[in-house]
């Protein structure tokens, strides 16, 4: 099983006395040349007067953007601590038992605009960059990462179950190979019998599912049906219903998690 997560938009900085990022220690070291390019380009653009505009963030986040200029020397911490948005709050990956943490390190991957892909144990600094950015010196980031991520993840995903909890911008950076059993996790809210797509609830619910998958007893799901069965254990607590869509001729199968 390979669980794919997006990063959180906001990040929590590591303690000031922590060591900076060491690219050689990150998962998939073959991505280092691309990581170097994106790091240098991000630092350069973040020093510009129009940095917030180029990076697509509000002026109120200027301090976070300015932090990008010192990203190579900034303190780093495990990704499970740095990413602290709604999804990661629900997943609580930094509070797992040793056995569950080992499963999370083995099976959870964070697809990142800056790092390409990380495990939850990879140590990185806080930064501000989204996958939808057209980064000067690199270009559209989803396109820049597509080939390298294919080289890094295709072999890992081939023949495995891919549980895709990414948002659309991050899905654009890598598509699982044809040999993977790819399931796209969608979250719907039901009110008065009518269902609609939601954002905040989607992040929270995907986080709940991620934690459930790495903490539940028994073997990891191996296909869409086993994934739906595993998720059904959350019905009555976190979920109202779990529905597995039909198998498509190509692409991802849809697992709908329904909340009230």
pLDDT one-digit tens code per residue, 97-106: 999 999 999 9
Interhelix angle 224-231/200-215, rounded to 10 degrees, is 100
Confidence of residue 2 (pLDDT cuts 50, 70, 90): very high
Exposed/middle/buried for 236, CB within 10 Å: 0-12, 13-18, 19+? exposed
d(CA 73, CA 175): 33
Per-residue pLDDT reduced to its tens digit, 17-72: 999 999 999 999 999 999 999 999 999 999 999 999 999 999 999 999 999 999 99
**Are the C-beta atoms of residues 109 and 77 closer than 8 Å to each other?**
no
d(CA 128, CA 149): 20
Per-residue pLDDT reduced to its tens digit, 58-67: 999 999 999 9
Residue 218, phi then psi, degrees to nearest 5: 90, 180
Q: What is the pLDDT of residue 149?
A: 98
d(CA 258, CA 245): 13
Q: Tell me the DSSP string of 218-233.
A: SPPP-SHHHHHHHHGG
Q: Which helix (H) or strand (E) holds 200?
A: helix 200-215
Give the domain ranges of the chain. Answer: 2-259
Interhelix angle 141-157/32-46, rounded to 10 degrees, is 150
Over residues 82-101, mean pLDDT: 96
pLDDT at 200 over 80: no
Q: What is the pLDDT of residue 117?
A: 98
């Amino acid at each position: 099983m390979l669980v794919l997560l997006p990063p959180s938009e906001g990040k929590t900085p590591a303690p000031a006395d922590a060591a900076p990022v060491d690219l050689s220690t990150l998962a998939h070291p073959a991505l280092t040349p691309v990581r170097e390019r994106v790091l240098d380009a991000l630092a350069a653009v973040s020093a510009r007067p129009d940095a917030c505009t180029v990076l697509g963030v509000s002026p109120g986040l200027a301090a976070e953007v300015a932090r990008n200029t010192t990203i190579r020397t900034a303190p780093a911490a495990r990704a499970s601590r740095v990413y602290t948005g709604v999804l990661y709050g629900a997943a609580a990956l930094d509070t797992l038992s040793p056995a569950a943490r080992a499963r999370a390190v083995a099976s959870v991957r964070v697809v990142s605009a800056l790092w390409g892909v990380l495990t939850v144990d990879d140590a990185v600094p806080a930064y501000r960059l989204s996958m939808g950015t057209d980064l000067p010196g690199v270009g559209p980031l989803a396109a820049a990462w597509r080939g390298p991520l294919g080289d890094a993840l295709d072999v890992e995903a081939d023949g495995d179950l891919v549980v895709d909890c990414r948002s659309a911008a991050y899905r654009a950076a890598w598509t699982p190979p044809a040999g993977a059993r790819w399931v796209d996790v969608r979250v719907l809210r039901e009110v008065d019998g009518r269902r609609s797509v939601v954002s905040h609830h989607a992040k929270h619910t995907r986080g709940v599912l991620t934690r459930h998958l790495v903490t539940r007893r028994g073997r990891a799901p191996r296909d869409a049906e086993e994934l739906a069965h595993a998720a059904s254990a959350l019905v009555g607590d976190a979920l109202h219903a779990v529905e597995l869509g039909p198998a498509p001729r190509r692409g991802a199968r849809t697992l709908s998690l329904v909340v009230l």
